[in-house]
Structure 1
């Protein structure tokens, strides 16, 4: 990937030159420099599902004492994610260690 020295836009290749589609600036291509560039072309972007069948529960993530609304068990794995605006608290996602029921808690 090459960026325009004039306007900072991303350039594309046009024969033996890089060309900016925003301002029209051009510069010669350097094959040695291009060989060092990393490309996503041909890379496997989705490796599919991960097999967790042989992973111990303790290795999956932290647990906490919380009551499962489905079975009443008192332990669950948890993770926290920021899914709302940055000035709001994170959402807590739980998975019961007994029945694998999933639920979430938000601060209101």
Structure 2
């Protein structure tokens, strides 16, 4: 994957060159650099990890959030930045009782 030096948009390949679909900027492809890039093509999916015998503390933090599915009052959580950097993180919850997953955004 290559990004435009002019506008930062993702570029695509056309006739052996990188071309920006947003501003039209073009540059030559570097096959040595592209060979070092990591791609998902041809990769196999990883196996599921058995967490059944893992201590609760090792899995991650929990909080007193009520599950909308079963009503249990404990959930594991993690926070991720999925929007612009100037916006708050999104909290993802997983119920420790039923495994239901939901998210909470600040608006």
TM-score norm. by structure 1 comes to 0.56
**Radius of gyration: which is bigger?**
1
Matched, 1:97 2:96: yes
Could you report, residue by residue, the CA deviation over 1:37-90 in whole angstroms, capped at 9, with x for unpaired residues?
x897xxx95451331233423321110111111111110000001111111000
Matches within 5 A, 1:26-105: 45-46=43-44, 48-56=46-54, 57-105=56-104
The total of aligned residue pairs comes to 77
Moved over 6 A (4+): none
Alpha-carbon RMSD: 3.0
TM-score norm. by structure 2 comes to 0.56
Q: Which runs of 5+ in 2 are unaligned?
A: 1-27
Structure 1 residues 65 and 84, CA gap change in structure 2 (3 angstroms): same
Structure 1 residues 107 and 53, CA gap change in structure 2 (3 angstroms): same
Deviation at 1:107, TM superposition (A): 0.1
Structure 1 residues 93 and 39, CA gap change in structure 2 (3 angstroms): closer
